[in-house]
Chains A and B, each alone.
Chain A
Amino acid sequence: MSALKDAAVAHLETLGGQTSESFGQTHVTLPAAQIREAITYLRKAGYEQLSDIFGIDYQGDPEHQGARFHVVYNLYAINEGERLMLRVAVQDGESIPSITPQWTAAGFMEREVYDMFGIEFDGHPDLRKLITPEDLDGFPLRKDFPIGESPTLFGDGRFLDPATFRAGMLGQDQGRTGWVGGARKGVTSEQTEPASDTGGDA
């Protein structure tokens, strides 16, 4: 523990922070309301680089206590080589004050958290989805988001149903996705039937 980290942790504890350790890395959990003040302080104190902001969904983890989501702010002090993980716990539907107005680097990171977990950031100048299409319903990195063979729902009722999709690919069905499959190349459904075995007489 360096002097920088000791001072930072002591200051964050006056803001209501709770300190924990995991594999030698210090984490400080803060109330959401204090995040702007904490970031301003840490940036001045020497944590000059905002490495990352990301979310974790603890739903379904029986040993986890407290709010469903954690948003982690990964800060790095370049001169001291010190890293600090700042955490904010939020329930589903709660929002966090955005730090983008004070630190541009947070722009994409907060948008990614919003896109993947549906956690909103108050005061973000441009809180749009970052990666997924506009009409995708749901938040992919939440633990209750369906994967695999479950149909993927889109906003206007359109959805990707794996079985129909495969049928469309084989040209057996128009497919609800609009993908016409073999028919597009001029292959009719008769032609995609497996050819009958004529034997090896010839």
Chain B
Amino acid sequence: MTTAPKPGTTPPRGATILGEETRGDFETKHMRINVGPQHPSTHGVLRLVVDLDGEEIAALSPRIGYLHTGFEKTMEHRTYQQGVTYSNRMDYLHAFGHDLAYVLSVEKLMDAKVPERAQRIRVILTELNRIASHLVFFGTGLLDMGALTPFFYGMRERERILDIFEMVTGVRMNYGYFRVGGLSKDLPDGFEAAVREFLNDMPKAIEQYNKLFEKNDIWVSRTKGVGVVSRETALEVGLTGPSARASGLNLDFRKAQPYSGYEDYTFDTITFEEGDAYQRFRIRMLEMEQSLNIVRQALDRLEPGPVKDPDRRISLPPREELESSMEAVIFHFKLVTEGFHPPRGEVYVPTESARGELGYYLVSDGGSMPYRVKARVPSLINLQALEPTCVGGLFADMVVNIATLDPVMGDVDK
């Protein structure tokens, strides 16, 4: 069984590769193999260079950047409002989470007042997206361990969530629905009914998922005690999100520093002590139920009202005003061509994405485009936990560790 080495005891990367060692009468050599970047169990284009001592992993080094898109640089050359186009393309599985993190930072710069209805809708969509993201985790995670069926079950419910998103935004991914100061438009008719129907069916589906794997001997023996991350190691490598909470780190920014009205909703932050793959897996299944709770509460409190900040510095004037008001035309023209100018300063608003702490650090120089955009993406930093979880363990467990750390490569490479 795997034991996590203490931080600092693993050999420095690139130092003892192919080092020879004598064991009994046999001369053994480490074998270096390359995993990925195009391998189904690496969840995208993660490439790992692994040194094997028989079946055991002696050293491991992630090589990333295959999906680097230069979003941060591009966002420096677009107006603040246009940044929404890029933010959701980073973590394509929890796109609303990225959109929300970005607009929250800009709203802090602009001191925007987001109407209550817009905040509730944001929470509903972000939490539904979190469920969809965890469903992909559930499906592909078990797929990596050899279970084919759960993938289809997970995708079945995810499809319903994507249908709801398509109804609201018109697309199934890369939504770009949030705007600085609110939303691009109000919800369509039938949204509430669709979400309520989903809320009714989902608990039964989760029950079904749990039946599929929870008592499965193979799953239990492949995850229990595998890839243990202690609370200390989690802090040492900077782990956040569900993976860190499975290691006993009580850190959830929805509770610690509430945003978008998360303080109004009752939900539990689930933590476990063991920190193994088993608990990292279960915690996401339980978090789906908490997300359903939040969606239910937000939907109950959803009341008619505006979905945009009425402030003309930020939001476009309503369409009908353009026909009668010269001033509205001027505001419209200025916002579309030039955008707004936040005051000089630097902001950072942490949020809780499906993968961990996510926040956009924005530097404003007073212009209409951000001077510097830095996305603090959880997947990249969580990937540092791969070395302590895998080294000393079996090669086959590496796949389990990648799956349960749940990286999204768009979120890693940016």
> Are A and B part of the same complex?
yes
Residues of chain A whose beta carbon lies under 8 Å from any beta carbon of chain B: 22-23, 25, 27, 48-52, 54, 56-57, 61, 63, 72, 74, 76, 78, 81, 83, 85, 103-105, 107-109, 112, 125-126, 129-133, 140-141, 145, 147
CA distance A140 to B75 in the complex (A): 13
Tell me, yes or no, whether B131 is within 8 Å of chain A by CB: no
Which of chain A's residues have a CB closer than 8 A to the CB of B73?
140-141, 145, 147
Query: Which stretch in B33-41, B308-316, B346-354 binds the other chain?
Result: B346-354
| Contact residues in A for B222 (Cβ distance below 8 Å) | none
For residue A134, give the distance in angstroms from its CB to the closest CB of chain B.
Answer: 10
Minimum CB–CB distance for B5 against chain A, Å: 12
Residue contact B347 to A23, C-beta cutoff 8 Å: yes
Name the interface residues of B1-51: CB closer than 8 Å to any CB of A: 7-8, 12-14
Taking CB atoms and an 8 Å cut-off, the chain B residues in 349-398 that contact chain A are 350, 357, 359, 361, 363, 365, 371-372, 374, 376, 380-381, 383-384
A125 touches B12 (CB 8 A): yes
Contact partner of B236 among A54, A83, A105, CB < 8 A? A105
| Known contacts A104-B8, A104-B236, A108-B380; A51 and B13 CB within 8 A of each other | no
Asked whether, in the complex, the Cβ of A104 is within 8 Å of the Cβ of B345, the reply is: no
Q: Which residue of A has the minimal Cβ distance to B62?
A: A108
- Known interface pairs A52-B376, A125-B12, A147-B73. Does A108 touch B65 (Cβ–Cβ under 8 Å)? no
| Cβ-defined partner of A104 (8 Å) among B70, B344, B384 | B384
Closest beta carbon of chain A to B22's beta carbon, Å: 27
Which residue on A lies nearest to B72, using beta carbons? A141
Extra pairs beyond A63-B365, A126-B12 (17, CB < 8 Å): A27-B346, A48-B235, A50-B238, A51-B350, A51-B359, A51-B376, A74-B361, A78-B249, A104-B8, A105-B236, A105-B237, A109-B381, A112-B380, A131-B68, A132-B65, A141-B72, A147-B73
> Is B256 engaged at the interface, CB distance under 8 Å to the other chain?
yes
A-contact bits for B235-254, CB 8 A (1 contact / 0 none) = 11110100000000111000
A49 touching B235 by the CB < 8 A rule? yes
Q: Kindly supply a per-residue 1/0 record for chain B positions 83-127, scoring 1 wherever the CB is within 8 Å of any chain A CB and 0 otherwise.
A: 000000000000000000000000011000000000000000000
Q: Once the chains bind, are A104 and B256 in contact (CB under 8 Å)? A: no
17 residue pairs A–B, Cβ–Cβ below 8 Å: A23-B109, A23-B346, A52-B361, A56-B371, A57-B372, A74-B361, A81-B257, A83-B348, A103-B236, A104-B238, A107-B384, A108-B380, A126-B12, A131-B414, A133-B65, A141-B73, A147-B73
Docked complex Cα distance between A133 and B37 (Å):
14
B170 to chain A: closest CB distance in Å? Answer: 29
Q: How many residues of B contact A (CB 8 A)?
A: 45
Q: For A147, what are the chain B residues with a Cβ–Cβ distance below 8 Å? A: 73, 77
B109, B250, B257, B376 interface centre (most CB from chain A within 10 Å)? B376
Indicate if the CB atoms of B256 and A25 lie closer than 8 Å. Answer: no
Question: Smallest Cβ distance from A142 to chain B, in angstroms?
Answer: 10
Question: In chain B, what residue has the closest Cβ to A142?
Answer: B73
User: Cβ of A63 and Cβ of B372 under 8 Å apart?
Assistant: no
A-B contact count (CB 8 A): 97
Give the most central of A52, A54, A129, A132: most B CB within 10 Å.
A52
A149-B8 Cα distance, complex, nearest whole Å: 45
* B371, A22: Cβ atoms closer than 8 Å: no
Contact: A51 with B238, CB < 8 Å?
A: yes
Closest 5 CB pairs of A and B: A105-B238, A131-B65, A52-B376, A54-B374, A22-B345
Q: Does B173 contact A (CB under 8 A)?
A: no
Known: A23-B346, A126-B14, A141-B72. A131 touches B64 (CB 8 A): yes
Q: Which of B108, B365, B381 contacts A105 (CB 8 A)?
A: B381
Residue of A nearest to B7 (CB): A104
Query: In the complex, what distance in Å separates the CA atom of A145 from the CA atom of B346?
Result: 22
Partner of A108 from B7, B108, B383 at Cβ < 8 Å: B383
Interface residues of B (CB under 8 A from A): 7-8, 12-14, 64-65, 68, 70, 72-73, 77, 108-109, 235-238, 240, 249-251, 256-257, 344-348, 350, 357, 359, 361, 363, 365, 371-372, 374, 376, 380-381, 383-384, 413-414
Contact B13 A81, beta carbon cutoff 8 Å: no
Given A105-B236, A125-B13, A25-B347 contact (CB < 8 Å): yes
Report the Cα distance A63→B8, complex, angstroms.
Answer: 43
- Are the C-beta atoms of A56 and B235 separated by less than 8 Å? no
Determine how close the nearest CB of chain A comes to the CB of B9; give it in whole angstroms.
11
Judge whether B384 and A105 touch: CB under 8 Å. yes
With A130-B64, A133-B65 as contacts: A108 and B381 at CB distance below 8 Å:
yes
**Best-surrounded residue of A61, A104, A132, A140 (most CB of chain B within 10 A):** A104
Hey, which chain B residues are within 8 Å of A130, CB to CB? 64-65
Residues on the A chain within 8 Å of B350, using CB? 51, 76, 83
Contact A131 B413 (CB under 8 A): yes
Contact between A56 and B65, CB atoms less than 8 A apart:
no
Closest to B380 in A: A108
Q: Closest CB-CB distance, A68 to chain B, in whole Å?
A: 13
- Known A-B contacts A63-B365, A81-B257; the reply to A22 vs B238 at CB < 8 A is no
The docked-state distance in angstroms from the alpha carbon of A132 to that of B359 is: 22
Q: Which residues of A contact B235 (CB under 8 A)?
A: 48-49, 105
Are A25 and B372 in contact, CB atoms less than 8 angstroms apart? no
A39 to chain B minimum Cβ distance, whole angstroms, is 13
Residues in B whose Cβ lies below 8 Å from that of A107: 384
Which of B65, B346, B357 contacts A51 (CB under 8 A)? B357
**Among A51, A78, A83, A125, residue most surrounded by chain B Cβ atoms (within 10 Å):** A51
List the B side residues contacting A74 at CB < 8 Å.
348, 361, 376
